[in-house]
Amino acid sequence: MARICYLELPVRDVASEKAFYGAAFDWDFTDFGPDYAATMTGDSDLGLNGDAAQWTAQLLPVIQVEDLEDSLERVEQAGGTITLPIFAFPGGRRFHFRDPAGHELAAMQPD
């Protein structure tokens, strides 16, 4: 069955985005030249593309976390902006945030 295995975000500053996601979610990135870095988990990975000639429209990646309140606090401490506070939905709870480059993402904790 086909599944989403990779998400790519266009970014102006690869280093600052790596720092944000490292601080907020403990993610490690592998550099592929000066304009690209990616997680390498083998699951659903995130690429940070600093080459403006390759940028695409944004999407809403959703990150599953174990402790939603802790994640919200860490996102704020890392420099993210909460755009939609924690809310319940069928199957769990989540919040939306913007990273320092302006990308909107969501963090969710399943029931």
- Rounded to 5°, the CA angle 100-81-16 comes to 20
In tens digits, the chain (111 residues) has pLDDT values of: 767 778 989 999 999 999 999 999 999 999 999 999 999 998 899 999 999 888 877 788 989 999 999 999 999 999 999 999 999 988 899 999 999 999 999 999 999
CA-based torsion, 52, 36, 74, 104: positive or negative: positive
Report the alpha-carbon distance of residue 4 to residue 17 in Å, rounded. 21
pTM of structure: 0.82
